[in-house]
Structure 1
Amino acid sequence: MTIDDNPRRIGENVRAARRASGRSLETVAGLVGRSKAWLSKIENGHARLERRADIAALADVLEVSADYLMGGPAPEVQPERRRYNLMALQRVLLDAAPDDPPDVRARPVDVLRAEVERVDAALRDADYATIARTLPDAIGELYVHAAGPDGPGRDEALRLVVRACGSCATCTLRHLGEVHLAWIAGERAQQAADLLGDPVWRAAAAFGRAHARSSANRPRALMLTPRIADEVEPYIGDDPFAHQVYGMLRLSSALALQIDGDDRGAAENAAEAARHAEELGEDPQAFELFGPANAGVWRTSLAVESGEAAAALGYADAVEPRALASKNRRAALWMERARARAMLGHRPEAVTRELRLAERLSPQQVHHHPLVRELVADLMHRAGGRDLRGLAWRMKLI
């Protein structure tokens, strides 16, 4: 990753892209349905882009990726980076596949299942050093079993590849700002699911691909989730895992529709997911932690995205953080609370307090979140304070 000691604000990237396109403020603002004054404030850092839908619309009009507008992978915090190295994970994702395994000796599938479970526990604890050490070998050896003869061992290996690549690797890499590798991890999971031929596991892999890239890009994998949820619904039966996969796809569908401007469709999908979550109850081992608490975190985020900040805080207040068996999801809850408070004009100290709670749980996730980085940069223009300056420094914003 390239280190940039002076990362630009999103508004600065919008201005650079607009000027490169040769279009005026008035023209671009009109094309996204906003005022010239609004866009001028964005470009000059006097207002911030808070909604993914606005970023997506500007990216479309300016013919650039949303990743470009959001600054791409965020600068690394060097002391943390020394604790892990992603080269081995990059190598196994780029140089091998479920049908093209590496030339290694594979441990038994039962041993590898325990390794994947250890990685999953490390991810929930935001322990990226353990993931970086353990996951590459596990994936490579699972590929060996996946490429073997048909049978229960091969099928179990393929399911474990979906978990290892589609959940563990994709989420880890996205949190660390490695979005391109995250996408490849999602592809490897989808390859394994296709080889397995099970519609529920195909849907589980589709969830990982849907969230490998920023949703502000309107990635096709995310925008297809409403159709994928419809397609898997007839297969869920009474299997709790299938219901969990279906529920996460309905939440993903809500996000896709929200970004696409379909508020009603988003609300219907979120409500459907919440209904399934209440029926299933909390299960710390659920697929992507699907349950009432995580559905509440998603509904908080969806309300923020729709600009309903007061409703977002209402959803957040109803979530019991201890029911979220993952530091990452608890951190997501505090980040969305911070964004909602900022929208409502709450004091910078209150916003910073929420972000500090998130950072204590999952620092890399906070440091690499483009909308949180934008929020912190904006707060630095408007306020000071030791906690805010410390957070901005750790995010390499000052």
Structure 2
Amino acid sequence: MDESNPTPPIGERVRAARRATGMNIGTLAGLIGKSKGWMSMVENGHIALDKRSDIAAIADVLQVSADTLLGEPADDIPARLPSVNLVALREVLHEYAVDDPPDVPVRPLEQTAADLARLDDQLRRTDYESMMRTLPRVLSELHAGAHLAEPHRSEALRQLITACGLAVIVMRHFGHSDLAWISGDRSRQAAAELGDPVWSAAAAYQRAHARSSANRSRALLATPRVADELEPHIGDDPFAHQVHGMLRLSAALANQVSGNHNEAQRQAAEAADLAARFEEPDDPQAWELFGVSNVGVWRTMLAVEAGDAGEAMRISDQVDTSALASKNRKAALAMDRFRALHQLGRDKLAGRELQKAEKLSPAQVRYSPMVREAVRDMAAVKDPVLRGVAWRMGVI
């Protein structure tokens, strides 16, 4: 491997994994329903392997994790890629548990709740450095708070689930899938202690997205069932409705990466119907920003995953980005527009979308295996905007 390009393309990792199993390229192609020529072009970097369903299928046949093919956690290239200091967060996640908390004082929970509100705002602004100065301490306190007397114990557990959800997102954005998974599982443990079906469903959502969906993890594949089981407990609670809606979107993704396109569309349509029922279609305080515009972001991604780039662009053109109260969600939409435009062969316009996404959320873009693979496929393009992003990603 060229030392100036430290992260090998996905195709190279597929070839290495295939050879390690002793499988020939024709057999692999046949088992995933592709031609030998297509598989050869993937391995040689002539076709971008940038669809989760294809990666998941190859990983299943080769009996490796999708993370192995994606190269996660992403390589650390300090000169180009944004980074954050994870020493304190790693210490909390590795050293403590809900049933083995740190011996630290717990401030009044009104104060930790205020910290969580600030952390959520910082996440929406992609101010990760500020988050890392506060999040580890809050997590420590809430681990300890889970052992307070009621009603403080239950409130601390709810806040711990929220804090773990924030950690999942940040760690995924920086390519640390190991820490994201610990955070998601810690959320599940806290929800089990709390015993509330709505919060258990919220924790299930967080855990489902702690790893790349290309892994087809049990947590992601369980989201259709979790959504169904939540319905009897929703009542008139807006929070419960928002959790239900995000689980329906997750169920759509689970079906898409499993190759069930029709069910993916049905689940996404149900989420869209749920979002349309709210008086305020895009409540900036909604859990995980569930609303009409965020559903549009998800449906754009699902169309890209289905290989329907034209539909992805049609859906994305209808999204009111001004209603997305988060740079992360705006960046996610621009990233999927980039992938759709690349699929359509409109690489100059694709580069502009990628530049837009990078300005909104640099880490989210530069650590994305899907985006990195598409950028590698476009490496020969001479457009200076695209080449600039490619350099900052460590692709060229």
Does TM, normalized by the shorter one, top 0.5? yes
Band of TM-score, shorter chain: over 0.9
Given the superposition, is the C-alpha separation of residues 83 and 311 from structure 1 closer, same or farther in structure 2, using an over 3 Å criterion?
A: closer
Provide the residue aligned with 1:236 in structure 2. Answer: 234
Q: Which amino acid aligns with 1:204?
A: A
Contact 2:80–2:394 (CA<8 Å) still a contact in 1?
no
**How is 1:1-398 mapped onto 2 (pairs within 5 angstroms)?**
5-78=5-78, 84-149=84-149, 151-165=150-164, 167-280=165-278, 281-346=281-346, 348-381=347-380, 383-398=381-396
How far did 1:98 drift?
Answer: 2.2
Cα pair distance change 1:4/1:142, threshold 3 Å:
farther
Q: CA, structure 1 residues 78+396, in 2 after alignment: closer, same or farther (shift >3 Å)?
A: same
Distance 1:188 1:265, change over 3 A: same
- SS, match of residue 148 in structure 1: coil
Deviation, 1:385, is 2.2
Give the 4+ runs in structure 1 shifted more than 4 A: 79-83
Deviation of the 1:357 alpha carbon = 0.2
CA distance in 2, matches of 1:394, 1:204: 35
For the aligned residue pairs, the C-alpha RMSD in angstroms reads 1.4
Answer whether contact 2:73 2:178 (CA < 8 A) is retained.
no
In 1: Cα distance, 2:133 partner to 2:391 partner: 28
Q: CA deviation at 1:192?
A: 0.9
What is the CA-CA distance between 1:143 and the residue it aligns to? 1.3
Instruction: Tell me if structure 2 keeps the 8 A contact 1:119–1:131.
Output: yes
Which amino acid in the other structure matches residue 350 of structure 1?
L
Task: State the shift of 1:80 in Å.
Answer: 7.6
Shift of 1:76: 3.0
**Separation in 1, partners of 2:214, 2:74:** 16
TM-score by length of 1: 0.96
CA contact (8 A) 1:225 1:253 kept: yes
How many angstroms does 1:5 deviate by?
4.8
Tell me the amino acid that sits aligned with residue 194 of structure 1: A
Q: CA deviation at 1:65?
A: 1.1
Structure 1 residues 216 and 248: alpha-carbon distance in aligned structure 2, compared to 1, 3 A threshold: same
Within 2, Cα distance between the matches of 1:393 and 1:294? Answer: 30
SS in structure 1 of the partner of residue 50 of structure 2: coil
Equivalents in 2 of 1:314, 1:385: separation in Å? 25
Shift of 1:77: 4.4
Report if aligned partners of 1:296, 1:319 keep a CA contact under 8 Å in 2: yes
Structure 2 portions without partners, runs of 5+: none
SS in 1 for 2:379: helix
1:79/1:46 Cα in 2 relative to 1: closer, same or farther (>3 Å)? closer
Tell whether the 8 Å contact from 2:82 to 2:362 is kept in structure 1 after alignment: no
Separation of aligned partners in 2, 1:77 and 1:367: 10
**TM-score, normalisation: structure 2:** 0.97
Q: CA deviation at 1:333?
A: 0.2
What runs of 5+ residues in structure 1 fail to find an aligned partner? none
